[in-house]
Amino acid sequence: MDEIRPDVLSTLSRGGSGLQLRSLTSSLVAAETSGERSLNERNVSNINTTISAMGQLSGKIGEFGEAMASVVDTISRTASSSITDAISIEVTDGSLAANFSSRMEVRSLASEQVLSFLFDSTVTTSTTLNQGTVSLNTPAWNNTQSFKLDDSNNTLIGMVEALNSLGGVTASLFDTGTGYALIIKSEDGLDNALDSDSIDAIKSALSMTSSAIDDETDSTHNPLGVSSSVTAAQNADILVDGVSVVRSSNEFEDLFLGHKITLNAVGTSMLSSSETNDSAQNRVIDFISVINDLKSYLNEATQRGINGADPGPLAGDSAAQSVLAHIRNIATRPIVGFGEDPVYLAEIGVRTERDGTLILDENVFERALEENSAIVDAFFSTQFSSDNANLKITGLSFAQPTAGSYVLIYNASAETATLDGEPLTIGSDSNGNVLLTSTTVGNTYGIQITLDADENLTTTVRYGQSLAAHLQDYSDSLLGRDGMLARRETNLGNQLLDFETRLEDVDAKAAALTERYNIQFGRMEAVIASLNQTGEYMQSLMDAWNAD
C-alpha cells in the first residue's frame, strides 16, 4: 500500500474515526522514545559540563605547575661583597649554596695571551700568504685545532676568518694608518695560551722564517716586513682567608658552591652569603598559598551538594578526587633524602586548619631555622649530598633517581664499587679523578660520584627531591600525553560520542515509529471511512423503503 501522509490522514479522519491522528501519532512516538531521549540528553549535558570543568582543572594544574617552578627558581639567599669594584658575587644555585663569610684579596687578574703582527705599509688585505695547514694547540685543549690556507683563502682576511672559526682564539685585522695589524687573542689563563709551536706555525703562514728579524723586510725571511710581539697570558692570583688560590678565569663558580665570583680589579673585599629568615619565610608563604588556591578550587569543584548545596561540576569525578587527595596529603608527606630522617611540613611550622587550609606558624618557623638553617632545602632545593663532604655527586640529565639514602662501598684495590648493593661503572673524569656511575636501572640510576682520592670508602649518598619539585613533576605528569587528566578527557570524549550516537539512534527510531503509525492509522481510517460510506448507503435505502 502506498504511503499515507499525515495530511491525508486528517482528511480521512473527518470521514472516518474523527480522531486527531497527527497528535495521536506524536504522543505514541513520544511515549516510546521520550524516556530514552531524556536520559541521553541529560548524559550529553552532564558530560559537556564535566569536559568543560576538566578543561578548567587542566588550566589550574598548569598554573599550579608554573607557580611551583617559580618557587623552585626563587632565590631567598643573599650574597654580598663589601667592595664590588674589586669583586662581585651572586647566587647561582640555592640548593648548593651555604652560609659563609670570607676575606678575599685579588693580587692579579687573569688575562689573555695577545699576539700582535704589524705589517709593512705595502701589505694589503689581499696580499698572498704561504699555503698549507696551520695547527694550533694549548695546554687546556684536548686536541690540536687546525685550518688550511689554499688558493681560496691564503690572504690576511682569509686567515682571520679561519682563525675565528676555531674555538678558544679570536682574530682581528685593522689598518693602523701606517700598515695593517693582525691581533690574535687566546682565552684568559696560562693554560689557554697558544704554545710556541702554534706561534711558529702562524709566523710561517705569514712567510716568516726562524731567521726573520722583526720589522725588517727581507724577501727570504720576512717578505711582509712583519713586526711581532707576544703579551703573555696570566692566571688570576687571589688570597682567600690567607690561602693562595689560582684560577684561569676572572669568573668562576667552583670556590663557594652555588655562587659565582667575578674578579673586577686588584683589591680586597669581604664576601658573605646567608639565607635570611624573612626571605625564606616569604618563600614558604608563597608556596603554601599556591597549594591553598588549588585545594580551594578542587574542594568547590568536587563538592557533592549535601544539605541543599549545588554539586560541583566535578562531583564524583575520580580523576579530580585523586588530585585533591594528593594535594591534601602534602601536609603529611615524608620528604626523604635530606638526612637520616624524613622531613615534614609540620617541622617548619606549617599546619592544617579545620577547613583544610595550610597556614604557617611564624614562631615555629623561626625556631626551626635557628636549629637547622638548611631545613628549607627539603621544600625547595633538590640536591645530592653525602656524609663524606669530599665527594662530588651529580646526576645524568636524562635519569632521575628515586629519592632516598644509599650506601656507597668502594674497594680501590679490587676496583669494585656498589651503591645500594648494585654495581657501579668505574671510570675517570677529565682531571683523572675516579668517577663512579650508576648505570643499572633502579633507585640509584643516573647518580655519578667523583672521588677526591683513590682509596677504600664506605659512606652514605643521598638524593633528595624537594617538595616543590615533586609537585611540579606531578602537575607535569597529570597534563602529559599519557597523564591522568589527558586519559580522563579522552574517556569523556568517547562517552560523549557514544551518547550522541545513541541520540541519533533515538531520532531514527522516532522517525521509523512515526512512519509505521502513519501507515497503520491510514489503513484504519480507510476501512472506517468505507464502513461509514456503506452505513450511509444502507441508511438511505432504509429511509427510502420507509418513505414508500
Grid cell listed for 318: 575520580
Mention every residue, 6+ apart, whose C-beta is less than 8 A from residue 154: 128, 129, 130, 131
Number of H helices, E strands in the chain: 10, 25
Q: What is the pLDDT of residue 19?
A: 64
Number of other residues whose CB lies within 10 A of the CB of residue 20: 13
* C-beta of residue 84 within 8 angstroms of C-beta of residue 288: no
What is the spatial distance between Cα 287 and Cα 274, in angstroms, rounded to a whole number? 20
SS3 28: helix
Q: Which H or E run contains 490?
A: helix 484-547
Give one DSSP letter per residue of 48-116, joined into a string.
HHHHHHHHHHHHHHHHHHHHHHHHHH---EEEEES-TTTEEEEES-TTT---EEEEEEEEE--BEEEEE
Q: Residue 199 and residue 226: Cα distance in Å, rounded?
A: 14
Cell for 118?
704589524
Q: Which amino acid is at 436?
A: L
- CB count within 10 Å of CB 238 equals 25
Q: What is the DSSP letter of 330?
A: G
Rounded CA gap, 353 and 271, in Å?
42
Exposed, middle or buried, 59 (CB in 10 Å: 0-12/13-18/19+)? exposed
- For residue 269, the model assigns a pLDDT of 95
Q: What span, in angstroms and rounded, lies between the C-alpha atoms of 49 and 45?
A: 6
Which residue, chain included where needed, has cell 476501512?
Answer: 527
How long a stretch of residues is the chain? Answer: 548
pLDDT at position 308, please?
67
Q: SS3 for 172? A: strand
- What tens-digit pLDDT sequence spans the chain (548 residues)? 444 444 544 444 455 566 666 777 778 777 777 778 778 778 788 888 888 888 888 899 999 999 888 887 777 778 899 999 999 999 887 767 778 899 999 999 999 999 999 999 999 998 999 999 999 999 999 889 999 999 999 999 999 999 999 999 999 999 999 999 999 999 999 999 999 999 999 999 998 888 888 777 777 888 888 998 999 999 999 999 999 999 999 999 989 988 999 999 999 999 999 877 777 888 899 999 999 999 999 999 988 877 767 888 888 888 899 999 999 999 899 999 998 899 999 999 999 998 889 999 999 999 998 888 788 888 888 889 898 988 989 988 788 899 999 999 999 999 999 999 999 999 988 778 899 999 988 999 999 999 988 999 999 999 999 999 999 999 999 988 888 888 888 888 888 888 888 888 878 887 888 878 777 777 777 777 777 777 777 778 787 787 76
Using alpha carbons, select from 21, 16, 18 the residue that is nearest to residue 531. Answer: 16
The set of cell numbers assigned to 18 is 474523527
Question: Do 213 and 120 contact (CB within 8 A), yes or no?
Answer: no
Confidence at residue 13, expressed as pLDDT on a 0 to 100 scale: 47
Q: Which stretches of 446-483 are DSSP H helices?
A: 467-479
Which triple of cell numbers denotes residue 517?
A: 503509525
Report the alpha-carbon distance of residue 360 to residue 254 in Å, rounded. Answer: 36
Retrieve residue 28's grid coordinates. 505514541
For residue 494, the one-letter residue type is N
Q: Is 314 exposed, middle or buried (0-12, 13-18, 19+ CB in 10 A)?
A: buried
Domain boundaries, the chain: 6-48+489-547, 77-108+236-275, 112-231, 383-464
| Conformation bin of residue 98: beta by default, left when phi > 0, alpha when psi is -120 to 50 | beta
In the block, which residue shows the cell 560520542?
497
Residues 6+ apart with CB under 8 A from 184: 114, 115, 117, 163, 169, 170, 171, 194, 202
CA torsion angle 14 20 25 31 (round to 10): -160
- Give residue 108's pLDDT: 95
What is the residue-wise DSSP string for 381-442? Answer: --EEEESSTT-EEEE-TT--PPSEEEEEEEETTTTEEEETTEE-EEEE-TTS-EEEE--SSS
Measured between alpha carbons, how far is 52 from 31 in angstroms, rounded to an integer? 33
- Residue 47 CA to residue 440 CA, distance in Å, equals 45
